[in-house]
């Protein structure tokens, strides 16, 4: 099965990307270039382009000011009083030995810290975005999971979100597929029997999806 045609970046497109990426939202750049947002993200990552701290802070602030943003419902308002106002707590025992030291932020060394909205590629090759700042590994969420949930879809327990064409860089919504963990294990097991069997299994999945699409259209 042939892979989808990749985007060919022209010199003017690359020049625009270099000029605008540090300062503008990837979505706005994609609209200006007439490409998908994920194509902008991946090309920028491959070129080593990064947004300025000021731009990231501004974008994060704009998202939080959006009345539909999920984080708005958990924010304190000026009329509210924190439950611990006026109290002071001094931990006892050897707690001082385990407290954060100067130069750390949420337990992370200052030089490793990045603001909310920053993106990275995991060791497994998945594009991830920082959504919270707790110092926990869960601060970073796979971008294809974000795209799936923003489309109003869920990922039930014991299910996995995979890429139809096997390309982790192709995070377009129509390239994502939700399958059970059991099915995923069976698919992975097929590869142990050699490339020919794996290719036949992949072709079977393509045929099944095409049949289901036609059945839905005719219903």
Looking at the domain assignment, is residue 58 inside a domain? yes
Residue 74 main-chain phi, psi, to 5 deg: -105, 0
Domain count, the chain: 1
Looking at the domain assignment, is residue 21 inside a domain? yes
Mean pLDDT on 4-9: 69
pLDDT of 187-215, one tens digit each? 766 555 555 655 665 666 677 777 777 77
- Distance between CA atoms of residues 112 and 118, nearest Å: 12
* Residue 104 CB coordination number (10 Å): 14
Of all residues in the chain, what percent are helix, strand and coil, respectively (each to 5)?
A: 50, 10, 40
Looking at the domain assignment, is residue 15 inside a domain? yes
β-sheet bridge partners, residue 129:
119, 141
pLDDT of 67-99, one tens digit each? 665 555 555 555 666 666 666 666 666 666 656
Whether this prediction's pTM lies above 0.85 is answered by no
Looking at the domain assignment, is residue 51 inside a domain? yes
CB-based contacts of 79, cutoff 8 Å, min separation 6: none
Domain that holds residue 34: 9-68
The pLDDT value given to residue 3: 40
Looking at the domain assignment, is residue 3 inside a domain? no
Looking at the domain assignment, is residue 16 inside a domain? yes
Asked if pLDDT for residue 57 goes beyond 70, the answer is yes
Looking at the domain assignment, is residue 156 inside a domain? no
Looking at the domain assignment, is residue 203 inside a domain? no
Report the chain's C-alpha Rg in angstroms. Answer: 22
Cβ density class 33-49: b for 16+ within 10 Å, e for less: bebbbbbbbbbbeeeee
């Amino acid at each position: 099965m042939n892979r989808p045609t990749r985007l060919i970046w022209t010199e003017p497109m690359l020049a625009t990307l270099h000029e605008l990426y540090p300062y503008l939202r990837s979505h706005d750049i994609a609209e200006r270039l007439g490409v998908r947002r994920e194509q902008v993200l991946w090309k920028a990552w491959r070129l080593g382009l990064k947004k300025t701290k000021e731009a990231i802070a501004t974008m994060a602030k704009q998202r939080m000011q959006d009345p539909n943003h999920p984080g708005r419902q958990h924010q304190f308002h000026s009329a509210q009083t924190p439950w611990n106002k006026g109290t002071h707590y001094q931990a006892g025992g050897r707690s001082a030995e385990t407290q954060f030291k100067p130069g750390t932020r949420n337990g992370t060394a200052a030089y490793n810290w990045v603001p909310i909205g920053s993106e990275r590629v995991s060791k497994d090759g998945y594009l991830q975005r920082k959504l919270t700042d707790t110092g926990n590994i869960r601060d970073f969420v796979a971008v294809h999971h974000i795209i799936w949930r923003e489309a109003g879809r869920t990922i039930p327990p014991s299910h996995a979100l995979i890429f139809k064409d096997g390309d982790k860089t192709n995070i377009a919504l129509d390239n994502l597929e939700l399958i059970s963990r059991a099915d995923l294990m069976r698919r992975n097991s097929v590869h142990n029997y050699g490339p020919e069997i794996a290719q036949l299994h992949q072709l079977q999945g393509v045929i099944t999806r095409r049949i289901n699409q036609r059945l839905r259209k005719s219903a």
